Amino acid sequence: MTDSDAITPASGAAMAVEAAMILAGLWLIWRFVVSKRGRDSRYLRLSEWRLPPIDFACFIALAFVGAAALSSAAGPLLRPLRLDGDSAMVAGGAVMHLGILAGLASFFLFYGAKARRGGVASGPYPVLASGVITFLIALPVVFAASSVWEFVLQRMGLPDEKQDMVDILQNSHSWLLKGSLVAVATILVPITEEMIFRAGLFRYFRTRVPRWMTILLTSALFGALHVSWSDNLSGLPSLAPLFALAVVFCLAYERTGRIGTTMVAHALFNLNTFVLVIAGIGS
């Protein structure tokens, strides 16, 4: 073992905490999914989203329009700052996600009760508690998917380039840039991605096409969009783990009926990933 491979106190502590959380997740899988009590108490609290196709098309379109409009407006304001490549990427990502939120906000403001009719059923699960439980359940599932997928990539000789955000955390010397990236990825990204993928695509199509197909297709799309297909397949190692994560989020959203549950779980997952990367034990 080289000095660079040696386990530091920080990485050792992170590994211990991660192992404890994975064990807790396995227990929660048994408690809520596998056990007879968990199976008997299973109830889907997410009702049908009764939105006409043209209105749903507007939901998606306004998200794209909001992102494009705000990005275009912010361009002239960011240009004088002469940001380097990494800083520009983080700033551009923040602007894009803010634009998506602005577009979605305009949709719900314009459509009002019509957009919310038949949407999310109220459930008894507090958002924070159910989000933490969902995060812990996802950890062993994602860990297993990541291990298998890494083996497949190695056997097939496929690229294992990391996502750009991982490279920034590992190589940037600017703590301001790192902090900005963490803020975007743990606040803006979970909100926008859960609104688009779970509260949007999954909620709309789950009662219009076979449920299992909706779970698989929206989860595959979620994972695929985190891979740079035209840039040496960077991010390919995250494809299968993020697919597994999205499946867990779909099932949690159905069971709790609260999109806040998956937003909290998503934020915790991203934060946990950053902690592992900074500690030097994850990518």
SS (H, E, C) the chain: CCHHHCCCHHHHHHHHHHHHHHHHHHHHHHHHHHCHHHHHCCCCCECCCCCCHHHHHHHHHHHHHHHHHHHHHHHHHHHHHCCCHHHHHHHHHHHHHHHHHHHHHHHHHHHCHHHHCCCECCCCCCHHHHHHHHHHHHHHHHHHHHHHHHHHHHHHCCCCCCCHHHHHHHHCCCHHHHHHHHHHHHHHHHHHHHHHHHHHHHHHHCCCCCHHHHHHHHHHHHHHCCCECCCCCECHHHHHHHHHHHHHHHHHHHHHCCHHHHHHHHHHHHHHHHHHHHHCCCC
- Domain chopping of the chain, boundaries: 46-113+127-279
- In tens, the pLDDT along 83-116 reads 888 888 899 999 999 999 999 999 999 887 667 6
Stretch among 14-23, 51-60, 173-182, 241-250 having the lowest mean pLDDT: 173-182
In tens, the pLDDT along 182-223 reads 999 999 999 999 999 999 999 999 999 999 999 999 999 999
- pLDDT per position as a tens digit, 124-139: 468 999 999 999 999 9
Percent of the chain residues past pLDDT 90, beyond the cut: 61
For the chain, the average pLDDT equals 88
